[in-house]
Structure 1
């Protein structure tokens, strides 16, 4: 039975002159039909694979573009915050310079040096550390309050060679 099947398959693929066919057109009708069906099936799988690949590419591209847009928006927000902070620093330096008058350059230099010593990663930590540093080193702007040294706190100045001076000393010392 196997000899008969192998004889039939070789007999069906031979041309009348006894040679093997060189093109598909030289094959018998059933072989051409089978080849055509197989080619159609392979094309169907190829197109479904290509469409799946295209869908996956489109999904990945859309996801990437969404993340990229989000990152660009975040970058623009950070840049805007940075620009506002730079402008605030310029305004503060200008106001500080205007308020300190003739000593503007010296005051700004001292303020920059003081700011360089401050540590912290948020506003609360920075404010706390700045207060500690100011307490340790002093601010240099602390002034002692004016004291009225005249007797009895009155305005008229006392003569250094008069009786009122002697009287105020005796009363202060408790001597009668």
Structure 2
């Protein structure tokens, strides 16, 4: 049996949510998951989708997913694809699902005239890092991810509002 990569549809919401929960468990971040099925349906399949999902099927059953969205490089002057999450069920690892998902993303990037495909990986996830290196990925060592969320996001936003 081979791996089939397909675009997710709204009927895949339960599967996508289950993959997100499994990924969070693997990354020891289950406590951080706020996404629910309704939220995912709205942002993935609603009137203004914010991201896309690919599903890897093996033997007629979903075994992995990739959630991604477009970004834009001002230096390149072209869009890119950002892979937010890639996850393959532990029992399906070694079947080629991860490589098939990344290969499809690379093909989408080329088809959409994207300059690059990029993602982040936890620094302790050595199996994933080794896998990505085997596909030609390279680290962006000079860059550090920055994030503003929660109260800091609200405070920053409030500072942009005109004072009365």
Please give the TM-score of this superposition, normalised by the length of structure 1.
0.18
Higher relative contact order (CA 8 A, sep 6+): 2
Indicate the structure (1 or 2) with the bigger Cα radius of gyration.
Answer: 1
**Bigger share in strand:** 2
Please give the TM-score of this superposition, normalised by the length of structure 2.
0.19
